[in-house]
Structure 1
Amino acid sequence: MRRLMIISLFIIACQKTDEKRPFVINGAGSTFIYPLISKWSYSFYNETKNQVNYQSIGSGGGIKQVSERVIDFGASDKPLEREELDSAKLFQFPVIVGGISIVYNIPNLNEKLYLTGEIICNIYLGKIKKWNDERIKKLNPKINLPDLKITPVRRSDGSGTTFIFTNYLSKVCPEWKDKVGYGTSVNWPEGIGAKGNEGVANYVKQNLGTIGYVEHAYAIENNLNYAYLDNKKGNFILPSLRTFQEATKYAKWDSNNDFFEILTYQDGDSTYPITGAVFILIPREKKEKNKQIIEFFKWAFEKGDSIAISLNYVPLSKETKEKVMNYWNEIIK
């Protein structure tokens, strides 16, 4: 009888050992996706008890830390090319699309400004210095613009948001392309540096005369004014779910090149010109941990769209999600 009891207890113990235990995964990078990944993680934990820790340190930091295997996954608004992925031995896939708003703080101004890529370029080159510059007034004849110094605000950290913004400027402004170029970090001709989307948003909110670029969710969250921008067709467009989604119509999302895609300055009558995707980077050799990471993002694909939309992000289309999930099946074999 005692032997039977011992055997029974041993069997129960083995069964408990075999039960799936909650896991913990650690990620870092893009501040662009931070508001969304925070809410996804919270809901995922409540449903599964699996924990996703994420640090909003900027895309450059995320790329560096996942390349050095400090974290389980990185998130970047800058897609990596095949050579970079091979060098760091990483896989890459997109999870969400969003846009960058041009935000500003002008006293007693409730109307939305109209700005062009050329004007924004010249502000960040230090060539347009006052809000009542004739080039801005010409686009906004009904607005009484003040004789106030413009203070451009930009990121001080390695940033995928900076990559998207400077890629856009390089497409609309030849002088920017020649003198500055684009990347997660550039040699800024002008401006005050702030850390993260949250840092830029806070600086603009607290200082008159400022202009900055932030992921749209930060503009909404901080109740910042944001501008109409001219797109490739010459139409002035506000950032929104619909206008970000228009840009995705021109994306190919090819798994053969790890979904490398840049969405700035796309065609289309109502396409917003500063649109971008967030990409997840995972080490190629960590198959078991990657299964856990994929379980989280699969949950996000299946149950997280409403959360994304509530924060003004664009979920991937059903077709694109299927491409990504097929890619997952290949990389975790």
Structure 2
Amino acid sequence: MLNFIALPKRKLFLGPLLALTLGLASCGAPTPTTNGGGGGTTPQATGGRVSLVGAGASFPAPLYQRWFSDYNRNVNPNVQITYQSVGSGAGIEQFTQGITDFGASDTAMTDEQIAAVPRGVVLLPMTAGSIVLAFNLPGVEQLNLSRETYAGIFLGDITRWNDPAIAADNPGVTLPDLAITAVTRSDGSGTTGVFTQHLDAISPKWKERVGSGLSVSWPAGIASRGNEGVTATITQTEGTIGYVEFSFAKSLGIPFATLENKAGNFVAATPENASASLAAVELPENLRAFIFDPDGENSYPIVTYTWVLAFATETDPAKLEAFRSVMTWALENGQDIAADLGYIPLPPEVVEKVKAALATLE
């Protein structure tokens, strides 16, 4: 089922930037003719050196790092892209203020946010991914969590790992008598937005007591900055559980829970189950879709697109040409890389819609 909401406007926390310099400048090398693999028709940015600066979501940062580096190395060494992993909230704010050339967010901008950008906005979903509940629990590698149970953990109602509710989800598993520490995000985060929207959809108590947004007042736990910070805290602290993007947990080998979906089945965050979630929603013409609680027997319950935020009008023709070339290459040649890194490749029909949106930039 496709749902649309207007996200509340909240205070954004910028904090220190974690900068990822994702392109390597070359010393006057000519533009290669290769498109970096695959059989796409990526337009080639021409002319002199061009630098693009983006900032935003930490969710897709590992993938963007790989894309931008590969493009610079294999397609056009004259195009250098720097991406700052600061969280979706800060990314939207810096983009709106014109500090960056493009932004990135795990939640699509609202009409109100778009209206605040004088040069206009085009939203480009570039990939998708699952949000998992990663945990550090001595002696436990596999864990089932029902919808009521994981909502209860983040509400602070379930406080110990051997709680009867968790035991009921995991018959035959020896659970330690250990305090639960929920790890949340301290920054304005699209991952937080997606996770809390999902909790809103499945838990009336959550909706009444906490609500959803890029930042919320968490009832329990400790906070860390970015997907990077949450995963670091989990790996270093026994008894923790936190919400992170699948690729972060996968790359670090952190176990994550199998979650109960809308159909009542315990479903793992596999690429196949995440793709089933995407198939449950049709992306509309404005390219804004929110997948709060997908239908389907095998659908993983917490999945989202993640967007690059582009100016509808670019005042620098060289930057426009370079940006369009990079994003087209990512759509045509970068989707296999997305799968390798644990993201969900865009369906072909979505790729065509995003390419059409790119063509409207001027």
In the TM superposition, residue 290 of structure 1 has moved relative to its aligned partner by 3.4
1:61 alignment partner in structure 2: 90
Whole-angstrom CA distance in 2 between matches of 1:196 and 1:149: 24
TM-score between both structures, scaled by the size of structure 2: 0.84
Checking the alignment, whether the CA contact within 8 Å between 2:124 and 2:310 is kept in structure 1 is: no
1:70 alignment partner in structure 2: 99
Whole-angstrom CA distance in 1 between matches of 2:145 and 2:321: 45
2:51 alignment partner in structure 1: 24
% identical aligned pairs: 37
Larger radius of gyration: 1
Give the helix-richer structure, 1 or 2.
1
* RMSD of Structure 2 on Structure 1 (CA): 1.2
Whole-angstrom CA distance in 2 between matches of 1:291 and 1:82: 27
1:80 aligns with 2:109: yes
Q: Deviations over 1:52-102 (max 9, x none)?
A: 110111001100000000000000001112332122232212000100010
In the TM superposition, residue 22 of structure 1 has moved relative to its aligned partner by 3.0
Whole-angstrom CA distance in 2 between matches of 1:251 and 1:83: 24
Structure 1 SS opposite 2:122:
strand
Where structure 2 has 5 or more consecutive residues not aligned to the other structure, the ranges are 1-45
Pick from 127, 149, 164 the counterpart of residue 96 of structure 1.
127
1:106 aligns with 2:137: yes
1:315 aligns with 2:345: yes
TM-score between both structures, scaled by the size of structure 1: 0.91
In the TM superposition, residue 207 of structure 1 has moved relative to its aligned partner by 0.3
Query: Residue 44 of structure 1 aligns to which amino acid in structure 2?
Result: Y
Checking the alignment, whether the CA contact within 8 Å between 1:151 and 1:209 is kept in structure 2 is: yes
Pick from 298, 306, 309 the counterpart of residue 281 of structure 1.
309
In the TM superposition, residue 170 of structure 1 has moved relative to its aligned partner by 0.5
Query: Residue 171 of structure 1 aligns to which amino acid in structure 2?
Result: A
Query: Residue 244 of structure 1 aligns to which amino acid in structure 2?
Result: A
1:243 alignment partner in structure 2: 273
Query: Residue 101 of structure 2 aligns to which amino acid in structure 1?
Result: D
Checking the alignment, whether the CA contact within 8 Å between 1:81 and 1:260 is kept in structure 2 is: no
1:263 alignment partner in structure 2: 291
Q: Deviations over 1:187-209 (max 9, x none)?
A: 11111000000100010111000
1:233 aligns with 2:232: no
Whole-angstrom CA distance in 2 between matches of 1:182 and 1:290: 35
2:168 alignment partner in structure 1: 138
Q: Deviations over 1:26-66 (max 9, x none)?
A: 10100000010001111001021111110111001100000
Q: Deviations over 1:289-311 (max 9, x none)?
A: 33322211101111112211111
Number of equivalences: 311
Q: Which moved more, 1:258-267 or 1:68-77?
A: 258-267
Checking the alignment, whether the CA contact within 8 Å between 1:67 and 1:283 is kept in structure 2 is: no
